[in-house]
Amino acid sequence: MVKFDKFQTSLVKLSGSSSLDALINEIVEYIKQSIKKISADKIDPSLLRFICNIVENSYSKKCVADNKIDKKKIVVDVYIILKPSANSAEDRAMLDRLIEDFHTSGQILKVSRLKYYYKLFKNQLFAKKE
């Protein structure tokens, strides 16, 4: 298996449904690695907010060929992959309402690259050396 470095993958732009499927699968794998145990509740607002923030910060508009990605659909698809029991019409409507509430109340945040790299630099600078 060939693994590309970040520079090479930064030259590739997302387009089409297969690229969205790849993005969804990467997000699902990241969440499964980050959260060891997912709650058994059908609708988990904290998990949904976590997914919303990941999707908001997972790609840049420069990486998308047509600049049109439905983030809400991606969030709902990822949530349903993680919790298949929430795949009814009522649950999807509830997820849509919760996402809208998160958006209007400002709970979905875009992390600036400067803040991200500052945090990485600070952690490297003050890391304890063994």
Query: Looking at residue 62, what is its pLDDT?
Result: 62
Q: Which two tokens stand for residue 78?
A: 């990822």
Distance CA 65, CA 63 (A): 7
What's the rounded mean pLDDT across residues 86-104?
92
Q: Tell me the residue type at 37.
A: K
What's the rounded mean pLDDT across residues 81-97?
91
What's the rounded mean pLDDT across residues 45-65?
79
In 3D, which of 44, 95, 105 has the Cα closest to residue 72? 95
Domain spans, the chain: 14-125
Distance CA 124, CA 49 (A): 29
Name residue, tokens 């690695």: 33
Query: Looking at residue 128, what is its pLDDT?
Result: 63
Residues 6+ positions from 48 with CB-CB distance below 8 Å: 75, 79, 95, 98, 99, 102
Residues 6+ positions from 76 with CB-CB distance below 8 Å: 92, 95, 96, 99
- pLDDT per residue as tens digits for the range 101-130: 999 999 888 877 777 778 778 888 777 655
What's the rounded mean pLDDT across residues 21-41?
83
